[in-house]
Amino acid sequence: MQSSGRTVAGELEKALGELFEEPVKITGAGRTDTGVHASGQVISFITSRSFPFERLAIALNSVLPYDISVREVAIAPAGFSARFSARERTYVYAVLNRPDRSALLAHRAYHVYRRTLDLNAMRAAAAHLVGEHDFRSFCGVLPESGVTVREVRSVAIEARDDLLRMQISADGFVHRMVRTIVGTLVECGLGRRDPNSLPAILAALDRRAAGLTAPPHGLYLAGVRYDDYDSYQEPKLSS
């Protein structure tokens, strides 16, 4: 929720409140910056009112605005939290790598047009990020806890024609971590940064050591994994 402007959380709480006829407060699996998308976001909430469960997804989609949709619903066990029960989160980042821009992907992918990205250099750089590290150099705003250690479990980079798809999974992420990682890897792919400089960037514990922050519109929260459920859904992209 924000003091001004529309938010996904605000629209969902408004719709749920309308259906359950009482104020509803949701918990999201992860926060997303303005302009970031989600194909696999998960929310949880508690209500004291009843509603025909089999109709809840249909009912929500009938009252939500066009840019938010609910894919499925489930009754969770007591104590479940979309945020704190999560075991792993997966983000996908899309880069359009060609000279001419795409009107259809203008708000869905980061347009890198000056030269063809070197995928091998980007993959070599990304390999240094896998494992448990202090990602303070890739953090925009420090969390209240001050803890910036996270475990990156996988980074995959692949080309689909002129669309570059980067997928990163971790036990958690700090503020703008994925976008800063992408920006740094793009600099490696453009030959502006040595792929073997990543260990030094991590060791610096200084945001100024890493690369640019990639724009928000190429980023998708694609999935959240729990003990018995995974919300992953591939973002639907086409150039």
pLDDT value of residue 33: 85
Q: How many domains does the chain have?
A: 2
Both tokens of residue 139?
A: 């953090």
C-alpha pair distances (Å), 131 with each of 122, 136, 166, 182, 225: 17, 15, 17, 17, 18
Last residue of one domain, picked from the residues 68, 85, 102 = 85
Contact 56, 73 (CB under 8 A): yes
Last residue of one domain, picked from the residues 41, 62, 85 = 85
**Structural domain span for residue 190:** 88-225
Same domain, residue pair 106 and 209: yes
CA 139 to CA 162: how far, in whole Å? Answer: 29
Residues labelled as active-site residues? 33
Asked whether residue 219 is domain-assigned, the answer is yes
pTM of the model: 0.93
C-alpha pair distances (Å), 39 with each of 4, 116, 144, 200, 224: 24, 28, 27, 34, 10
Q: Tokens 């514990």 identify what position?
A: 205
Same domain, residue pair 33 and 92: no
> Block means of pLDDT (10 residues each) for the chain, length 239 residues?
81 95 94 90 93 92 95 93 96 96 94 94 98 96 90 96 95 95 97 97 97 96 96 83
